[in-house]
Amino acid sequence: MSGGLLVVLLVLPGAAAWAGGSGDGALRMTVTVDGRSDSAERPPAVRVGAQVVKRYLLENLGEAQVYGVRVVDPGVPGGAVRCPRQRLAALGELECVARFRALPGVRLATARARGDVPSLDVLSSATARSGYVGVAGGLTLTERVSVGGGRAAVTYTVANRGNQVLHAVRVEDTALPLGPGAVDCGGRAGTVPLLPPGASVRCTATVLRPPGTHRSTGLATGSDRVPTLDAGGAPVPAPTLTARSSAAFTIPAPPGGAGVGGGSGGSGASGGSVRGGVAGVGGVGGGSGVAGVPGTSGGAGVAGAAGGAGTGAGAAGAGTAGAGTGAGGAPGAPAVPGAPAAVPGGVPQAVPPNAPPSVPRAAPTPVPPTPARTAGSVPAAPSQGVPETVPGIGDRQQQQQDQQRQQRQRAEAVPDDEGFLGRLRRRAREAHEFGVVAMLLLLLIPAAVAAALLGSRVK
């Protein structure tokens, strides 16, 4: 009875193949990718660059031990599958592991496991198919700037270099002051709804900037909306893809126009300091003509608005009146005998009413020109006149008035920024004029004191 039962057990399906040894089906292999065992039918999505973990579970269904187990998988970069250096016992299990970074695209491959059975001199093997899908969201952005008419036209080019469709790609600039809707992407305000793999779209924007160097910093964002798995098999939401670009550009300054000339007439030109002058008083033309007195050089003129400097010059001649000329202004009017002489700034010089018009007047003492002030300021023009002293008329009151007027004019002609040498020269001239008065005071004061003492003694 026992012998018959043993024969029945040997002829049972599956039992006879492994009894006492190992056949072709004694080694079996199962592969999981990031925890998924059905990767051959449904390969999991893995973000490109993320870690992929493949586990190879080897089972020995035979009664003989398997030595030197090794696994070769074309889906692993370099075939780096690590297996423990130990034998696979009969009816035992063994696990090999491979870790690597995900590559883009569909990565399906068939792995093969092998082992030796020395006791039976056979080679035991097994195969399994597995893989994953590498999700590559490749968003890129470039830009180009063209300048003209004080405006900058920026062209942004957004492209999809990945293997998935990108959704709601938005383009903006973080450096330029662009308002809402300023970026035009094919008729849409700064947004590309769908961007297939390998496609690109141009977006444009125009901005007005002041002269100088500026920088544009483009920013593009979007998503492929594909969830993936991590190395442990946990789901990972789709990230926001970002691309940046940058470009520097220069807005040139507008071409400068020519300086505006001074007003017409004797006001002179503008721009630098204007060195104007008082026209010399000429002689009065008669039957035979009286020689005119040469005119004197005028004092410093006023600074004009723009342009060159004008100079006034006295003219000497028989019966000819001197005239001042100005660059950028009209020639000065000829002087009329007996009329007030023209001075820069349009201030006429007073003439005493009792001076005969036909008698020439003496030339005044020249006054040094006033230094020009800084550009943009218009100093008051000194009123340098022609002395009104007429030879042969002994009117002391008129002479005192003339001296007082000349002193007042010279006091007004002193500039605020007069230097040390200019002040010294002016004091020297005033001392010469004051000498006569000082001498009189030195003579009169002792006389007055003596008269007072003599009067007190008489009393």
pLDDT digits (tens, 9 = 90+) for 334-391: 444 444 444 444 444 444 444 444 444 444 455 454 444 444 444 444 444 444 444 4
Residue-level pLDDT at 251 = 93
Rounded CA separation 136/376 (Å): 66
Query: Who has greater pLDDT, 389 or 417?
Result: 417
Q: Is pLDDT above 90 for 200?
A: yes
Residue-level pLDDT at 150 = 86
H/E stretch holding 32 reads: strand 27-33
Topology classification of domain 21-135: Immunoglobulin-like (2.60.40)
Q: Where in the chain is the domain with CATH 2.60.40.10?
A: 21-135, 139-251
For domain 139-251, which CATH number applies: 2.60.40.10, 3.40.50.1100, 3.40.30.10, 3.40.605.10?
2.60.40.10
Residue-level pLDDT at 448 = 86
Q: What percent of the chain has pLDDT over 70?
A: 58
**Among 260, 257, 256, which residue's Cα sits nearest to residue 329?**
260
Q: Are 216 and 225 in contact (CB under 8 A)?
A: no
Query: Who has greater pLDDT, 249 or 431?
Result: 249
Residue-level pLDDT at 261 = 37
Residue-level pLDDT at 431 = 64
Residue-level pLDDT at 89 = 93
Query: Who has greater pLDDT, 341 or 193?
Result: 193
Quickly state the pLDDT bin for 165 (edges 50, 70, 90): very high
Residue-level pLDDT at 340 = 42
Quickly state the pLDDT bin for 94 (edges 50, 70, 90): very high
Residue-level pLDDT at 413 = 59
Query: Alpha helix locations (H) across 60-140?
Result: none
Taking only the tens place, the pLDDT of each residue in 116-134 is 998 888 889 999 999 999 9
Residue-level pLDDT at 345 = 43
Q: Is pLDDT above 60 for 452?
A: yes
Rounded CA separation 184/204 (Å): 5
Taking only the tens place, the pLDDT of each residue in 271-319 is 333 333 333 333 333 334 334 444 444 344 333 333 333 333 333 333 3
Residue-level pLDDT at 266 = 36
Residue-level pLDDT at 405 = 79
Distances in whole angstroms, Cα of residue 456 to Cα of each of 12, 445, 447, 448: 175, 17, 14, 12
- How large is the average pLDDT for residues 431-458? 77
Q: Is pLDDT above 60 for 325?
A: no
- How large is the average pLDDT for residues 161-172? 96
Lowest mean pLDDT among 183-197, 253-267, 311-325: 311-325
Residue-level pLDDT at 443 = 82
Taking only the tens place, the pLDDT of each residue in 138-157 is 999 999 999 998 899 999 99
Residue-level pLDDT at 26 = 86
Distances in whole angstroms, Cα of residue 363 to Cα of each of 291, 296, 388, 396, 454: 14, 7, 9, 19, 47
- For the ranges 79-93, 216-230, 253-267, the maximum mean pLDDT occurs at 216-230
Sign of CA dihedral 200, 205, 210, 211: positive
Residue-level pLDDT at 22 = 59
Residue-level pLDDT at 433 = 61
**Among 112, 118, 109, which residue's Cα sits nearest to residue 88?**
118
Q: Is pLDDT above 80 for 397?
A: no
- How large is the average pLDDT for residues 17-44? 81
The single residue listed with the structure tokens 């001392």 is 431
Query: Who has greater pLDDT, 391 or 227?
Result: 227
